[in-house]
Amino acid sequence: MSELEQLLIGDGAAAPPSAILQGVEAGLAHKHLPGAPHTIYQELWHISYWQQISLDWVRGVETPIPAHAAVGFPSSAEAEGEDWERLCVRFFTTLWEAAAIARTAGGLDQAIRCPSRPGLPVRVMTVREQLENLAAHNAYHFGRIVLLRHLLGIWPPAAGGFTW
């Protein structure tokens, strides 16, 4: 497994996503904590949202960046329309797609166009750079999920996790 693939699906820099999400029940995924801007559900939805956009860009689909950051988090209707289990399936499906792309060493240096925030020029980067960006983004938000799990008293998961 390449280091890039490890960063996406393994325990390269932190606990793997599969461990971080292990044992989170729907009720706790939707629980709002005082002072926390988002729930576990909202954080995973956000990760999945940007993961899909990253895959679009890698495939040559110039999906625009939303005009407002709030679009990258679920509305009440979106959260009601996709239960926790289905969100997890959607997340892991696109995560495995990203990992499969990371395994194809021949295409990682291909240049792709990645739209920027409104008013800024389109960025050009390699597939590898976009997947590295995705891995960093996922790690940031999974760190928030781990903190929420700590605050909810459901960390570490049964599979273990970094606890120092």
- Average pLDDT on 118-127 reads 93
Give yes or no for residue 107 having a pLDDT over 70: yes
Residue 162, pLDDT above cutoff 70: no
Q: In angstroms, how far is the first alpha carbon of the chain from the final one? A: 26
For residues 119 and 88, the model is more confident at: 88
Name the average pLDDT for the chain: 94
Note the pLDDT tens digit of each residue in 12-27: 778 999 999 999 999 9
What integer pLDDT is reported at residue 161 of this predicted model?
A: 65
Q: According to the model, what pLDDT value does residue 43 have?
A: 98
Q: How far apart are CA 153 and CA 104, in angstroms?
A: 39
Strands 123-126 and 111-114: antiparallel
Give me the domains of the chain, ranges plus CATH numbers: 3-152 (1.20.120.450)
**Residue found under tokens 């693939």:** 5
Contact 14, 142 (CB under 8 A): yes
Question: How sure is the predictor about 152, in pLDDT bands with cuts at 50, 70 and 90?
Answer: very high
Task: Using the predicted structure, report yes or no on whether residue 127 has a pLDDT greater than 90.
Answer: yes
Comparing 154 with 1, which gets the higher pLDDT? 154
Q: How many Å separate Cα 8 from the centre of its chain?
A: 9
Contact 147, 5 (CB under 8 A): no
**pLDDT mean over 125-149:** 97
Segment 29-50 shows an average pLDDT of: 98
Q: What is the DSSP annotation of 61-114?
A: --PPPPSSGGGGS--HHHHHHS-HHHHHHHHHHHHHHHHHHHH-GGGTT-EEEE
